[in-house]
Amino acid sequence: MSKLLVINSSPMTDNSNTRELVENFVNAWKIKHGESEVSVVQRDIGRTPPPHLDEVTIGSFYTPEDARNDAQNQAISLSDQLVDELEQADAVVIGSPMHNFSITSSLKTYIDHVARVGRTFNYTDNGPVGLLKDKQAFIISARGGRYGDGSPAAAMNHQDTYLKTVLGFIGIEDVTTINAEGVSSGDQGVQTAAAEIDTLLA
């Protein structure tokens, strides 16, 4: 049984391009790998955003488990759960709307909860090393404008570029990106991305 972790980060419930494309992806993934062979875990941070890190939570990250107080244990429990989900997944698909040239604030906060020293990365004599190994990730993004390689706006894209950096930092280096671009100008960007998903998982 392989585990697919599905992370949606659009605050929109109706009319979300990324939610629609992520649903396409999950359906195609089940057909490709066999429905009975796939277990899907949904983490909807668009509908239920994690809280921003506060002082107690950050303190809990840097306090050994057996020395944490009750407030720290409570504060760290969501982060532990989110890291457990990532650790247990064989593959992760992330729906990422572009907001102000980057990811949504809920997805950034999610990353703050899962990029954890001692859990998902460690510092070594050779620099930081990611601890999540042998996982595939798929980023499905949507953007009103166009930021493709070589385009005039490419340098303003801090979305999938940033996500790839963070995923690599925690050890996930096998990352495929599918971008629905120019969605404010019509349906073509979503249709092209949907076709890319079909081809990828044919």
Ligand X SMILES: Cc1cc2nc3c(=O)[nH]c(=O)nc-3n(C[C@H](O)[C@H](O)[C@H](O)COP(=O)(O)O)c2cc1C
Q: Of the candidates 75, 98, 132, 139, which one interacts with ligand X according to CB under 6 A? A: 98
189 binds ligand X (CB under 6 A): no
**Applying CB under 6 A, does 17 fall inside the site for ligand X?**
yes
Out of 142, 167, 170, 172, which residue is the one contacting ligand X (CB under 6 A)? 142
Minimum CB distance to ligand X, residue 128 (Å): 29
26 part of the interface to ligand X, by CB under 6 A: no
Give me the least distance between CB of 43 and ligand X, in Å please. 16
Q: Which is nearer to ligand X, 68 or 99 (CB)?
A: 99
Query: Is residue 24 a contact residue for ligand X (CB under 6 A)?
Result: no
Among 143, 160, 163, 170, binds ligand X (CB under 6 A): 143
CB of 120 vs ligand X, minimal distance in Å: 26
Question: According to the 3-state scheme, what is the secondary structure of the chain?
Answer: CEEEEEEECCCCCCCCHHHHHHHHHHHHHHHHHCHHHEEEEEEECCCCCCCCCCHHHHHHHCCCHHHCCHHHHHHHHHHHHHHHHHHHCCEEEEEEECECCECCHHHHHHHHHHCCECCCEEEECCEEEECCCCCEEEEEEECCCCCCCCCCCHHHCCCHHHHHHHHHHCCCCEEEEEEECCHHHCCHHHHHHHHHHHHHCC
Of 64 and 150, the one with the shorter C-beta distance to ligand X is: 150
Q: Does 144 bind ligand X (CB under 6 A)?
A: yes
Q: Does 106 contact ligand X by CB under 6 A?
A: no
Name the residue number minimizing CB distance to ligand X: 97
157 binds ligand X (CB under 6 A): no
> 115-149 in b/e burial notation, b at 16+ Cβ within 10 A?
bbeebbbeeeeeeeebbbeebebbbbbbbebbbee
- Which residues of the shown chain bind ligand X in the complex (CB under 6 A)? 10, 12, 16-19, 97-101, 142-145, 183
